[in-house]
Structure 1
Amino acid sequence: MNTPPALPLRLGALVPLTRPGWAEAGRQLLAGLDLAVREVNDAGGIGGRPLELVVRDTAADPERAAAAVAELAGLGVAAVVGEYHSVVARAAAARADALGVPFLCSSAVLDSLTEEPTQWVARVAPAQSHGWRIYADFLLGAAAGTEGAPRIAVATQPSVYWASGTRILRDRLAPHGGTVVELDANALTPEALCEALAEQGATALLLLVGHPEPAVPLVRAVRSDPRLARVLIGAPAGQPEFAGWAEALGKDGAGIPFLRYLPEQLGPLGARVGKELRERLGEAPSFVAFEGWDTVTVLAEALRAYGTDRAQLAASWPELAVEGTRGTVRFSRTPDLGLWQWAWAPVQVVDRDPADLDRFRVLHSG
């Protein structure tokens, strides 16, 4: 008598795969999640049960994400993983908390991912306040030796994520005499924004906006304006990380510092996973792909050690110590965060080398 195959153990996955979501980031995230699932299954699964990834496209829509969490809960998933956009992950976290479903967030960084403290939500990406303070320290270092304090202009769009980032930068720079001025990227044309930069004597322009619109035309306008030749363009949210940035802007997209959550040198595990991700993607993996791999690997270890009961899984966050591609993942409660947080993934400020767009230069580490 043949033994029937073991029923799969389902994990829900939230990923932006269509516009207006950042589909390129979603593709990288899904590649990491899927590779880790395949590796778990190749090693025998969880107690003989294969993992099955049940993917839902959030398309950067918070309501769609919340509905997906409810649907996945009804399908019996052990937990939900993923998501890249912070405002979407916040909606998913709220629904997961309400339904009692563990949610291990891969890439969203907004500090206030939950309104109230919860046991159900954990995160492998660093909090925005941690990474963006490091970025502000980079700006202060870049201004050292120049005349006056940094005068930062931020081209921004309405969003709780961009507003939070602006506040973090202002709070970090102000004690050192730095100023932050907001420019509404929805109201100003690229040419009008260049006029404002010139009038205000800005030393840097930070792109707190979507990609490719309006980020790409803003970069082109600033690069072509001789008055702004010495203005640093920055993108702390990481837009230049992805290949589409270099394809759209060419050399204009080089020399634009952004945050990346990778160590300066990957260890043997990270190098091996990076090689397999490159083969799967057909291009260099971004830090987002590594976040996806780490997410599933951490959750698989929790499932092996604590079983599939949702409450037991959620209770396991502080007990875990799992080797990931970027270090040992351990969760703790940190001040002002209502979730279980890996404190911290490595943080770098990098840019694309003008001499070789496929090469990233490490400018600052934190």
Structure 2
Amino acid sequence: MSGMVTSAHPPRRDGTERTDGSPVSIGALVPLTRPGWAEAGRHLLAGLELAVDEVNDTGGIGGSPLRLVVRDTAADPRRAAAAVDELAGLGVAALVGEYHSVVARTAAARADALGLPFLCSSAVIDALTEQPTRWVARLAPAQSHGWTAYADFLLGAGHDRIAVAAQPSVYWACGTRILRDHLAARGATLVELDTSAQPATAVCDALADQRATALLLLVGHPEPAVSIVRSVRRDQRLDGVLIGAPAGQPEFAEWAAELGTDGAGIPFLRYLPERFGPHGARVGTALRERLGRPPSFVAFEGHDTVTVLAGALRDHGIDRARIAASWPHVAVDGTRGKIRFTRTPGIGVWQWAWPPVQVVDRDPADPARFRILHTG
């Protein structure tokens, strides 16, 4: 996937080029190689690219084509910071994208320091920035919003003693804290199982000792997530234990290909409506054709990102400060509902509050089919 501007007329380096027929460039941060979640990155990029094509098919930005300048972050914060610096120097009007929360935090901090608008597509960690900023907006729901909905699902299903298998990470630590606080306030218990130096069989032993009825995977994919699922499924002591993956690992085809029926019946979060309207259905069909498989919620996030930014560019111009000033005035029909940004308590960026939230799983009788278990 090329990250180079393809026009013979590069944008001015101050980011304030006029729409005189030369391209309006936006930088896209996407994980396309390991250790990044490359499949999620491909879905995100497919959504971004489809929306760019649609913008250009309807006249572009004031007659100028919209162009993506893609950079692979590979889930590396340092690589993302370097990409933000490079893209700012190339004169992009704004940044879009990113899936991994830890990477998006670094990108947001650097964009804020440089005065470069950043519309974050998919990262959910609440503290996307340490301090409030006018430069950053986000489409994905905050982790505290989605993960409390997941905790409500667990409680509604009768689970009051829940274990988490977690790896060291700011993202996983934040998720654990959100779950613990929400569950404890409702009389349930959360037990942490350390996976950093233990084989999957040891996780099973600890789970059996704790007598938990649910195990949540707050770990990387494919490993150790795949090994833990296989071990739990084969351990007779753990028959009836629910495996959950709030971060959404089972959404993607790689999960089903690796685990088959073992990967079914594992509830996860996704950010889609129960039913699409005509616009969302049309985009879903186009994304399926582009990807060669059903699109994930991440692909829709990518499409909505460019739709929002294109509206801001058309209405407010391509000056960076004017783009950032436009966030509170956004009112765009996205694939998943009307998108508006507000200031949300505890969150330092302009936030869409809220995208639709579902808890779903793959049907054990047909792992290609998703079942909606809870909405929040």
- TM-score tier, shorter chain, comes to over 0.9
Q: Which runs of 5 or more structure 2 residues have no equivalent in the other structure?
A: 1-8, 10-19
Q: Which residue of 1 aligns with 2:6?
A: none
Paired residues for 1:1-366 under 5 Å:
6-143=21-158, 150-366=160-376
Shift of the alpha carbon at 1:203? Answer: 0.7
Letter in 2 for 1:79: A
Q: Which runs of 5 or more structure 1 residues have no equivalent in the other structure?
A: 144-148
Relative to the length of structure 2, the TM-score reads 0.94
Letter in 2 for 1:300: A
What percentage of aligned pairs have identical amino acids?
Answer: 77
Counterparts of 2:127 and 2:189 in 1: how far apart (Å)? 25
Letter in 1 for 2:129: T
Q: Secondary structure at the match of 2:92?
A: coil
Shift of the alpha carbon at 1:188? Answer: 1.4
Letter in 2 for 1:231: V
Q: Secondary structure at the match of 1:25?
A: helix
Deviations 1:297-342 (A, max 9, x none): 0000000000000000000000010000000000000000000000
- Figure out how many residues of one structure are paired with residues of the other and give that number: 358
Shift of the alpha carbon at 1:183? Answer: 1.1
Counterparts of 2:340 and 2:320 in 1: how far apart (Å)? 19
Counterparts of 1:158 and 1:186 in 2: how far apart (Å)? 7
Deviations 1:266-320 (A, max 9, x none): 1100000000000000000000000000000000000000000000000000001
Q: Secondary structure at the match of 2:243?
A: strand
Q: Secondary structure at the match of 1:176?
A: coil
Relative to the length of structure 1, the TM-score reads 0.97
Q: Which residue of 1 aligns with 2:15?
A: none
Q: Which residue of 2 aligns with 1:146?
A: none
Deviations 1:221-252 (A, max 9, x none): 00000110111000000000000000000000
Letter in 1 for 2:247: A
Runs ≥4 residues deviating over 4 A: none
Q: Secondary structure at the match of 1:273?
A: helix
Shift of the alpha carbon at 1:177? Answer: 1.6
Letter in 1 for 2:282: R
Counterparts of 2:316 and 2:113 in 1: how far apart (Å)? 22
Letter in 2 for 1:168: I
Counterparts of 2:332 and 2:85 in 1: how far apart (Å)? 28
Counterparts of 1:230 and 1:359 in 2: how far apart (Å)? 22
